[in-house]
Structure 1
Amino acid sequence: MTDEVDRIAAISDPFELLREATSRMAVAQEEVTELARLRRRVINELHQGGLSYAHIAERVGLTRGRIHQIRHGGPPAEGAFLGAGHVTIVTPLKKEAIKARPVVAFEDVTGAQRLAELARNLGLEPSFEHVPTTGEIDLNRPNLIVICGPRISQPVADVLSQDRRLSFERAPDGPWMLVDRKAGNTYRSGQDQTPPQNSDVAYLGRLPRPDGKGSLIVFTGIHPAGSLGVVHLICTRIGELYGEVQTDTFSVLVGTEYEPDTKEPRKVQLLTPINRHPEE
C-alpha cells in the first residue's frame, strides 16, 4: 500500500476514516480519469505522427489490442480544453432592474448547464459558482470557466486587459464594443444598432491567472445572447478548438445570430483568427 493509504488505515476514529477514505478515492478517481485521457491523447498523437499501433505497443510493452482498447476507451482528449478533473463554471449575479434583487441572466444559466453537460460527457466533474454583485472573485484557482465581462467584475477586467489584441471598449456614444486592435476593426452588438438586429458579439479566451500560476477560460458577449453563442461554439466544435490551441492561452471574437424570441443561437461564427498568445 502507499503511505497515504497506510495513513488513512491507521486512523482510529471510524467516521474520520470514512471521510478521509472517501475524499482520497475522489482525488484518485480524478487522477485515473486524467491519466487515461493523457494516454489516449499520446497514442493518437504518435499514430498521427506516423507510428503504427503495433510499433507503439512494442515500445511501451503492451499488446496491440491493449493499445486499441486504450485509444477507444479513455475519455476524449478534447476534455482538456475545459480543464482537468473538477471544473468550476462561474456566472455573474446582476441586480434585478425593478426590485434590485441579485439574479442570473437566463442565457447564462442555460449556458452554464450546457457546459456542465458537455463536461460530464468528457469525463469531467462540473460545479457552479457566482460572481457576486460586488464583482469580487478569486481567479487564482485551477479549472475555472468564467462567463463574465469587465463591466461586472474588476478582477475579470484585469485579466482581460492582458490581451494585447482584442479588448472591450466603450463606443463614443456609450455602448460597449469589441475591438481588434491589430486589424483595426470594431464590432458592435446588433442590439445596439439602429434598427436593432438579432445578433451579438462575444469574446472567448484562455488567459493567465492574476498570480501567473495557471490560466482560466473567460468568455462573455456584449449582451447575454453572445455568451450563449460561445457555449454553442464550444459544445459543437470543441474538438476543433482543442486541435487548434490545446491548453495554450488564446483569444478570439465570436459572432452570433439568434432567434428573437428564445435567444437561441441559429448561426455562430469566428469573427477573427484564433490568436495563440505565446506566438504574439
Structure 2
Amino acid sequence: MPPGNVERIAAIEDPFQLLRVATERLNAAQQEVGELSRLRRRVIQELHAQGLSYAQIAKEAGLTRGRIHQIRHTGPAPEGAFLGTGTITLVTPLKREATNARPVVAMEDVTAAKRLEDLARGFDLPVELEHVPLGGEIDINRSNLIVICGPRLSTVMGALYESDPVLEWVKDDVWTLRDSRTGMVYRSGSDSEPPRAVDYAYLGRLGRPDGNGNLLVFTGIHPQGTLGVVQLLQTEIATLWGQVGDKRFSTVVGVEYDPATGEPVKAELAGPLYRHEED
C-alpha cells in the first residue's frame, strides 16, 4: 500500500470508519500479494520450461539461485488462474420446485459449487456465491465470474453459448451438444435406449458481451455431467491451464457415473479442446 494511502487512512477521525477502511485496504493488499506471488512463480516455471536454468534466471532477475528455488515451490500455484484472479464469483441457478413452485437450488448444483469453492480456496482464491434468479436474468459483464448454468434456465446464458464458434446446444426431443466442426452429436446416456450411466457437459471460457474480458462457464446435459466437470477440474486443472491458459476455449467433457448415486466415476475430454483465438 503506498505511504499516502496509509497516511490518509490514519487521518480518519471516526474510529469505526477507520477500522472499516483499514480492513478493506488490508484485504485488497493481501489479495494483490497473492496474485503477484502466483505471477512470479508462473514466470519462473515458464522460463525454466523454455530451457533456462534456475541459475540463469536468478542472475538475470538479480536474485540468488536459492531464492528462485524457494519462489518456484511456494505460494499459490499458477494454474489457479484458470479459475480467475482475485475474488471469484461463483453462480448457480435457481429452479422452480415442482410441488409448490418455490425457488430452490438443485442438490447437485450445491455439491458442484461447494467442491469448486474448495478447489478455488486451495489456490488462495476468495469465493463469493450467487444464484441465477428465476427467469434467468444475470449480469455476466463482470470479472472473475464462473457460471454453472445451461441455456434452458437462462436466455442470457443461451445467448452467450451461441457465441461459441464450434460447439452448440441443440434442443429437439432432448438437449444435446453438437460439434459443428466434426458433426459429432453428444447425447446423454440417460436420454438413450437402452439408458447408460454416461453424461456429457460443456466447459468453456467465453467472451463477455461487453467485450471487456471473459467468463468461465460449464454445465452438464444433466446434473451428473456438471459434477463430472468439477471432478475434471480437481484432477486436471494444471493440464488445462497449460493448454489454454486464460484464453477463450471450449470442449465437451464425457462423464461416467455411478447410477445409484450419480457421483462421477470417470471424467475426461470427449472431443477436441478448441482454442477460439485460432478460429
TM range (shorter): over 0.9
Write the distance in 1 (CA, Å) between the matches of 2:60 and 2:178. Answer: 50
Answering whether residue 64 of structure 2 is matched by residue 63 of structure 1, we say: yes
Q: What are the within-5 Å matches in structure 2 for residues 130-145 of structure 1?
A: 130-145=131-146
Answering whether residue 120 of structure 2 is matched by residue 106 of structure 1, we say: no
Gap runs ≥5 in structure 2: none
Give the SS at the match of 2:121.
Answer: helix
Shift of 1:85: 1.5
Tell me what 1:27 maps to. Answer: 28
Paired letter, 1:142: S
Write the distance in 1 (CA, Å) between the matches of 2:211 and 2:268. Answer: 31
Q: CA RMSD in A?
A: 0.9
Write the distance in 1 (CA, Å) between the matches of 2:179 and 2:124. Answer: 35
Q: What are the within-5 Å matches in structure 2 for residues 218-229 of structure 1?
A: 218-229=217-228
Deviations 1:205-236 (A, max 9, x none): 00001111010000011111111111111111
Write the distance in 2 (CA, Å) between the matches of 1:39 and 1:62. Answer: 13
Write the distance in 1 (CA, Å) between the matches of 2:192 and 2:45. Answer: 47
Write the distance in 1 (CA, Å) between the matches of 2:133 and 2:33. Answer: 34
Tell me what 2:243 maps to. Answer: 244
Tell me what 2:180 maps to. Answer: 181
Give the SS at the match of 1:266.
Answer: strand
Q: Percent of counterpart pairs with the same letter?
A: 59
Answering whether residue 258 of structure 2 is matched by residue 273 of structure 1, we say: no
Paired letter, 1:47: H
Shift of 1:263: 0.6
Paired letter, 2:270: L
Write the distance in 2 (CA, Å) between the matches of 1:13 and 1:57. Answer: 47
Shift of 1:95: 0.6
Paired letter, 2:220: G
Gap runs ≥5 in structure 1: none
Give the SS at the match of 1:179.
Answer: strand
Paired letter, 1:229: G
Paired letter, 1:16: Q
Shift of 1:195: 2.2
Deviations 1:148-182 (A, max 9, x none): 001101111111111011010112xx111100001
Shift of 1:194: 1.8
Answering whether residue 214 of structure 2 is matched by residue 215 of structure 1, we say: yes
Give the SS at the match of 1:146.
Answer: strand
Tell me what 1:156 maps to. Answer: 157
Deviations 1:59-108 (A, max 9, x none): 11111111111111121000000001211111101011112111111111
Write the distance in 1 (CA, Å) between the matches of 2:163 and 2:218. Answer: 14
Give the SS at the match of 1:116.
Answer: helix
Write the distance in 2 (CA, Å) between the matches of 1:210 and 1:227. Answer: 24
Tell me what 2:122 maps to. Answer: 121
Runs of 4+, deviation exceeding 4 Å:
none
Tell me what 1:192 maps to. Answer: 191
With normalisation by structure 2, the TM-score equals 0.98
Deviations 1:214-272 (A, max 9, x none): 10000011111111111111111001100100100000001111111211001212111
Deviations 1:120-157 (A, max 9, x none): 11111112111011101111111111000011011111
Shift of 1:2: 2.4
With normalisation by structure 1, the TM-score equals 0.97
Write the distance in 2 (CA, Å) between the matches of 1:101 and 1:61. Answer: 61
Shift of 1:6: 2.0
Answering whether residue 38 of structure 2 is matched by residue 37 of structure 1, we say: yes
Tell me what 2:49 maps to. Answer: 48
Give the SS at the match of 1:133.
Answer: coil
Number of equivalent positions: 278
Paired letter, 1:269: E
Paired letter, 2:241: Y
